[in-house]
Amino acid sequence: MATLVDIEQLKRNIREIESSSVYEETSLAEEEAKAFKKILKLASIREQASKKLHERLIKDGFSEQAVSNALGRAIEAHIVDDERYAEAFMRTQLAQGKGRRGVERALEQLNIDSPSEEAWQLAYEQFGDDELERAMALLHRKPPRSKNLREGAYRKLVQKGYSADVAASAARRWSESLAAPECEYFAD
């Protein structure tokens, strides 16, 4: 009979522990550790923005508190750095032919400040500092497919993140170069 009472008492103790804050803190710590491990895994593949990581971890089922704590640890340890992400993002977008305005808009959506002017200058030195020339090169590499080529070129450049001024100038210059007799764009 004493054994039966002990088992019932043990069950009550387990229920009390499960409902106590000690148990919650332990499970939160475990969840935070799992979230931190996931951050390490994702950050080892490529640079990550803190906002994207936060959204990803919440979507994966981690609690808000565990995500915030794990992300705070990762930021403190410089595993996640939005400034570093912004510079890497800027370089990859410029390499893909995107314009400065589009890069800044994408970073703004992630609540990340645009890279410093110095970082922009270094990137422009690497990928070409003249946005108009980069826009022209993009149009020559991948011309628009529309009836009105000039308007199509303008739309393409604006969609790629070039400012309206650069897009208009490049579209005009590009369409005028097609009209020139030495142009081989429409040659059979």
pLDDT digits (tens, 9 = 90+) for 151-180: 999 999 988 888 888 889 888 998 888 876
In a domain, 79, yes or no: no
What is the extent of the structural domain holding 166? 130-183
Q: What number of other Cβ atoms are within 10 A of residue 174's Cβ? A: 22
User: Among residues of the chain, what percentage have pLDDT more than 90?
Assistant: 21
Question: Residue 139 falls within a domain, yes or no?
Answer: yes
**What pLDDT does residue 59 have?**
96
Domain membership of residue 37 (yes or no) is: no
Domain-located, residue 113: no
For the full predicted model, state whether its pTM sits above 0.85.
Answer: no
Does residue 116 form part of some domain?
no
pLDDT of residue 24 exceeding 60, the answer is no
Count of structural domains within the chain: 1
CATH code, domain with 163: 1.10.10
Per the domain annotation, does 101 fall within a domain?
A: no
Q: What pLDDT is attached to residue 2? A: 44
Among 115, 96, 119, residue whose Cα is nearest residue 104: 115
160 within some domain:
yes
Q: What is the pLDDT of residue 187?
A: 46
In a domain, 33, yes or no: no
**Tens digit of pLDDT for each residue in 62-100?**
999 999 999 999 999 888 899 888 888 888 888 787 888
